[in-house]
Amino acid sequence: MADYLVDEMSPYHLQMSMFVTTIREQGDEAQRNHWLPQIEAWKIIGAYAQTEQGHGSNVRGLELQARWDPKKKEFELHSPTLTASKWWNGALGRTATHAIVVAQLLLPQIQTPSIDAADDAEPRYVSHGPHPFVVRIRDQDTHQPLPGIVVGDIGPKYGYTSMDNGYMLFNHFRVPHAAMLARYSRVDPETSAFQRTGSSAVVYGSLTNVRANIIMHARLVLARAVTIAVRYCSIRRQFKDRDALDTESIPETVVLDYPTVMIRVLPLLATTFALHYTGEAMYELYRRSRESIEGGDFGSLAELHSTSSGLKSLCTMYAADGIEICRRAMGGHGFGGGSGLVQINADYLSKPTVEGDNWMITQQVSNYLIKKMTAAVEEPHMESKDALSDHFRRYLKQRTTARPQEVITSNGTIDDTALVEAFKWRAATLSYQAYQQRIVQKQRWNTLLISLHKLSRAYSESILVTNFHSALQNSPLSEPTRSTMRDLFHLYALHTIDSDARTFQTTGALSAVVLDAIPDRVLDIMTQKVRPHAVKLVDSWAIPDYLLDSALGRYDGKVYEELFQKAHRENPLNRVTFNVDWRSSEIVKGDKDSEARILAKL
């Protein structure tokens, strides 16, 4: 919690997340007993070194080698190329003493003895894919890199300035057999044989955990941006109402009353709650999967992996784009340091490409959906093991006969169940189309990537809508609040539909008549139902001023006083007086050497 409130990426961050998690999940008992106490006592500081300069999303393409030496019973870590340099790894640049290093495991090929082969010939090595190793990288006393290792900070980034993301190269660097984390796979030190005790996909387990965290984090980040935007836009006034009869005496209009501002900010407010309920559901899914993996059942990994991929892609996009939308909704002051959105925006912008690029990883979702659909088509009558297969089988039965959902009933009310069904129907139809294109017509994967990306998005949206809906069903909230939550549910769902009306129509999920009625309905929900509660709704996220660190988003609304305070009193530039005469080489008044000093730094 303290770390969350300080809201700055600490160089120790990886210690508490990827470093310890990986050892806990992928170390065998002896390794856990060896490392965990040292980590907990902060005797060692860790980093997690997976991505390289040349490879990120494609983990199987990593170039760093871990070559097993059967004679000395050691691994030799070696970077054969420049692109094999570890890159982007947090806490590695200046801080870490140790790192989890992911490297291609190379083992000598076990050969049947041949008469021709000379005994001492160099054995042929084969790769067994990427595996994690725990490596000490810096000296305990001097904190200098150990011989054979070159490590440093990769330089400035868009944000994340307080974190020392690093690079690292190895030159035939040796580590003991125990360095390889051996819970799911190991090298037999006697026979040099590769042994596997679980699914290879388990390597991605920690990554999936990180993704679940990313989704929960996304909702908080978005809630912060929306809190600031809603508060500031309900204080900021600009222009008088053009339709007002008496333009002299009325005050200027509150910015949040403009529909052009509402349409940007209020659907995002609804989105924060949508993300919240799905985040909770994700944690539950992750917890259940971990339980079954610990119990030796790896079956749930596929669903976990694909669901987490699709949601990670959608939720981080919502949050990253949402921050920027909020920032712009605040006009000029949004660009200033006092908005509180500059650092969060810059820091958060890494998320759409980190831990699986948002465009790349949607392939995993689509791949999974196509597999599920194929199974449903091929065996329509088999009993379904999970909700998705069941839905697909039902979809196939009704595919040719179903009618579009009447989400707005004849008396004008919204049918929540029909709304959820519309999203599910659209996702199922798009899955079926993808199945047709890929499996039946055998179209090239590459030409399908764009529609597969859309499929992933549609599926993830249906998860968000479903979770939001079921949370409302089981909600402990009292009545007036519950009905406002339902308005937010409608706003999120209808606004999402309006943004992609075309696929709802072409998949037959909704009729053109319904789609035409939606924009006015959205405006109505925003102005009548959500706008009056907007400030209280953001207050309910209970984000303290200390965390917001924003003049515009202050709880007490003292926006302008705080902006001035920050500019005037907390700004080091205002302590310097410059010589602005272009003929003078003096840059800072009274500092004759200032030009030479500046040139020396360039």
Partner 1 sequence: MAPTPQWVKELKPSGPQGHELLKQERAKSKLPVEQLSQFLFTRGGLERKHGILAILEKEKVFYKSQNYFAGRVDRFETALARAKRLRQLTVQHGWSVEDFRAATELISEPGPYGLHESMFLITLRDQGTPQQREKFYKPALNYEIIGCYAQTELGHGSNVRGLETTATWNAEDQTFTIHSPHLTASKWWIGSLGRTANHAVVMAQLVIAGRSHGPHPFVVQIRDLKTHEPLENIHIGDIGPKFGYNTMDNGFLLFNNVKIPHFNMLARFSSVDPQTNRYMRPSSPSLVYGTLTWVRSTIVMQAGGVLARGVTIATRYCAVRRQFQDRDAPEWEKGENQVLNYTMVQIRLLTLLAATYALHFTGKGMMQLYETNQNKMSQDVGQVGSAQRGAGPEETHSGSDLLADLHATSCGLKSLASTIAAEGLETCRRACGGHGYSSFSGIGPWFADYLPTTTWEGDNYMLSQQVARYLLKSARSVMKGEKPTNDTTQILSNFLAKSDIGAAFDVLGRDEDIVAAFAWRTAFLTFEALKHRDEQKKAWNDLLVDFYRLSRAHSQYLVVKNFYETLQSPSLTAELDPETVTVMYKLFRLHSLHTLENEASEFYTSSAVTVRQIQLARTSAVMRLLEELRPHAVRLVDAWDFPDWQLDSSLGRYDGKVYEDMFYRASEQNPLNAITVDPYPDSPVLFKKNDSAQFKSKL
- Active site (catalytic) residues: 355
- The angle at the Cα of 593, spanning 587 to 596, to the nearest 5 degrees, equals 85
Q: Which is nearer to partner 1, 20 or 485 (CB)?
A: 20
Q: Which is nearer to partner 1, 346 or 414 (CB)?
A: 346
Q: Return d(Cα 353, Cα 221) in angstroms, integer.
A: 16
Of these, 130, 267, 334, 340, which contacts partner 1 (CB under 8 A)? Answer: 334
Q: Does 568 bind partner 1 (CB under 8 A)?
A: yes
Q: Does 506 bind partner 1 (CB under 8 A)?
A: yes
Joined together, the tokens standing for residue 155 give 């330089």
**Which helix (H) or strand (E) segment is 127 a member of?**
strand 125-136
Q: Return d(Cα 191, Cα 168) in angstroms, integer.
A: 31
Q: Are 237 and 251 in contact (CB under 8 A)?
A: yes
Torsion on CA atoms 565, 567, 570, 574, rounded to nearest 10: -130
CB 357, min distance to partner 1, A:
5
**What is the end-to-end Cα distance of the chain in Å, rounded?**
41
Residue list 1-40, contact with partner 1 (CB under 8 A): 11-12
Q: Are 348 and 221 in contact (CB under 8 A)?
A: yes
Q: Which is nearer to partner 1, 127 or 505 (CB)?
A: 505
Q: Return d(Cα 493, Cα 430) in angstroms, integer.
A: 18
Q: Give the SS3 label for residue 74.
A: strand
Q: Return d(Cα 82, Cα 553) in angstroms, integer.
A: 46
For 170-211, the three-class secondary structure string (H helix, E strand, C coil) is ECCEEEEHHHECCCCEEECCCCCCEEECCCHHHHHHHHHHHH
Q: Does 95 bind partner 1 (CB under 8 A)?
A: yes
Q: Does 283 bind partner 1 (CB under 8 A)?
A: no
Q: Give the SS3 label for residue 262.
A: helix
**Which helix (H) or strand (E) segment is 66 a member of?**
strand 65-69
Q: Does 580 bind partner 1 (CB under 8 A)?
A: yes
Q: Are 218 and 318 in contact (CB under 8 A)?
A: yes
In DSSP terms, 127 is beta-bridged to 106
Q: Does 154 bind partner 1 (CB under 8 A)?
A: yes
Q: Does 144 bind partner 1 (CB under 8 A)?
A: yes
Residue list 66-85, contact with partner 1 (CB under 8 A): 79-85
**CA 22 and chain centroid, separation:** 18
**In the stretch 438-477, what mask flags binding to partner 1 with x, by CB under 8 A?**
------xxxxxxxx-x------------------------
Q: Which is nearer to partner 1, 205 or 340 (CB)?
A: 340
Nearest CA to 447 among 429, 434, 458?
434
Q: Are 223 and 320 in contact (CB under 8 A)?
A: no
299 labelled binding-site residue = no
Of these, 58, 111, 197, 528, which contacts partner 1 (CB under 8 A)? Answer: 58
Q: Does 577 bind partner 1 (CB under 8 A)?
A: yes
Stretch that binds partner 1, among 212-220, 276-284, 478-486, 582-590 (CB under 8 A): 582-590
Residue list 177-236, contact with partner 1 (CB under 8 A): none
Of these, 75, 88, 395, 492, which contacts partner 1 (CB under 8 A)? Answer: 88
Stretch that binds partner 1, among 224-232, 259-267, 284-292, 418-426 (CB under 8 A): 259-267
Q: Does 126 bind partner 1 (CB under 8 A)?
A: no
Q: Does 574 bind partner 1 (CB under 8 A)?
A: yes
Of these, 192, 200, 253, 300, which contacts partner 1 (CB under 8 A)? Answer: 253
Stretch that binds partner 1, among 107-115, 120-128, 325-333, 541-549 (CB under 8 A): 325-333
Stretch that binds partner 1, among 17-25, 155-163, 384-392, 468-476 (CB under 8 A): 155-163
Of these, 516, 532, 536, 592, which contacts partner 1 (CB under 8 A)? Answer: 516
279 — phi, psi (to 5°)? -60, -45
CB 587, min distance to partner 1, A:
5
557 labelled binding-site residue = no
Binding site, residues? 51, 90
